[in-house]
Amino acid sequence: MSLRSDSKSPGLSRKASKAVGPTPTKRRNSTLWSETLDVHQKSTFSAKEIKRQEAIYELYRGEQDLIEDLQLARKAYHDPMLKLSIMTEEELAHIFGDLDAYIPLHEDLLRKLTEGTGPNGTVGQIGQIVTDWLPGLNAYKDYCSNQLAAKALLDQKKQDRRVQDFLQRCLESPFSRKLDLWSFLDIPRSRLVKYPLLLREILRHTPPDHPDVANLERAITIIQGVLSDINMRKGESECQYYIDKLEYLDDKQRDPLIDSCKTLLCHGELRNKSGSKLHVFLFSELLVLTRPVTRNERSCFQVYRQPIPVRDLNVEDLQDGEIRMGGSFRGAFTNGEKAKNVFRVSSMDPSHGQSHTLQVNDVYHKQQWLNCLRSAMAQHQGAPLRPQGEAQIVNELSLS
C-alpha cells in the first residue's frame, strides 16, 4: 500500500489547475444488514429476526475490518520501516509481534459465516460456528502479554526523528483514519473484549426456543474463559516487566518474596511526606516504593527504602487535615493548609520500623488505593477478597 496520496487523476496530470485539496480521510463502510435487502425481502422478516441478523452482521463486518487493519499494519507501517531501515528487524518484531499469524484465524471465521449464510442472506445458526472457533483466540496470549514491552519500545523509538517523521506522515495520510500506529497494534486486544458483547447481543435477539440459544450461551462461557486466561498471562507478564525494572541501591533491599510475585495489583505515582514523587507498586506479596530514574537511556525504578511484605502491612486511612505543614508535605501546601487525600502504610514487623505517609490527587484514587491494599492484605489473612472491580490486576493509579 502506498503511503503517498496522489489526488490527481491520469487524465488531468498535465494540467496546471488550481491546487487540489487534501484527500479525505478514509472511512469505514457502516452499512447495516437490512440495507443490503430490497423492500420485498425486508418485508419477509420479523422485526426481531432483522435485529438478530443485524447483530450477526456486525460480528461479520468487525472481522472484515480487523483483517483489513492487520494487513494495513504490515503493509503501511512494518514493511516500509524495515525497507527504509527506520527500525531494525528485531525492533519491529518486538513491536509488531506475530500479527500476520492471526489473519488466517479471522479469515476462517469469515469463511464459516459465509458458508452458513442461506440464499436469503440470513445466517440460520451461528452458535456452533462460534463455539468451535472461539478457542483459537488463545493464540493471542503471547501477543497481549507482550504489549507493555512493545509499547515501551515504540515510545522509546518515537524519540528518533526519522521514526517520528514517518509516523506523523502516516497519521496525516487518509489510510490511517487519524489513528496512530499504537491504535492499530491495540486493535486485536480491543476486538477480543468485544466478543462477549457481540455474542450477548445476538443471544438477546434470538428466540428462546431457537436451537442457537444453548450454543450461544456456551460460546459466551468459552470466550469469558479465553479472556480470563489471556488476562492472567498478561498480568504475569506485566508483573515481571516491572520487577525487571527495579534497581536496588543495596542488596539488602531485595526481598526474596519478589521472586514469588506473579501479580501486580496496582501501581502509580504518589507523593511522600516531603512532597517527593514516588512510583509505588503493590505486588501480590510486596509493597515497593520507588523513584523513577534513567540509567544508560533506560528507564527504571530505584527502590526507596525497604519493601514491605503484604503479610506485615498495616494501612491507616488519614482524615483530611490530620497532616499539616511541619509534619506534612513540604512544598505541596502553604503554611496552615490542610493535607487532603492522605493515607499511611507501615510494617507491623518491628525490625523494619518504617512508615510512609502518602498522598494521591483526589478522593477517588485514594479509595482505589485503599481498596487494593486492603484486598491484598485480606488475601494473606485468609479473609474473603473484595470484588474484582475494587482491586483490578495491574490497575494504574496515578497522581495525574
- Give residue-wise pLDDT tens across range 92-138: 999 999 998 999 999 999 999 999 998 888 898 999 999 999 999 99
| Whether 397 contacts 369, CB under 8 Å | yes
CB atoms within 10 A of CB 99: 19
pLDDT of residue 34: 66
**How many C-alpha atoms does 15 have within 13 Å on its Cβ side?**
9
Separation CA 377–CA 375 (nearest Å): 5
pTM confidence score: 0.76
pLDDT of residue 6: 35
pLDDT of residue 310: 94
- What number does CATH give the domain 28-243? 1.20.900.10
Give yes or no on whether 28-243 and 248-396 have one common fold.
no
pLDDT of residue 393: 39
pLDDT of residue 242: 95
pLDDT of residue 345: 94
pLDDT of residue 181: 96
3-class secondary-structure state, position 101: helix
CA dihedral 189, 193, 194, 196 (to 10 degrees): 150
Can you list the residues of the chain whose pLDDT is less than 50?
1-23, 325-334, 336, 383-394, 398-400
CA dihedral 265, 271, 272, 273 (to 10 degrees): -140
pLDDT of residue 144: 95
pLDDT of residue 390: 33
Distances (CA, A) of 54 to 17, 43, 163, 194, 266: 46, 15, 41, 16, 39
Domain ranges of the chain: 28-243, 248-396
3-class secondary-structure state, position 335: coil
Residue recorded with cell 490497575: 395
pLDDT of residue 247: 94
pLDDT of residue 376: 92
pLDDT of residue 3: 28
**In CATH terms, is domain 248-396 a member of 2.30.29.30?**
yes
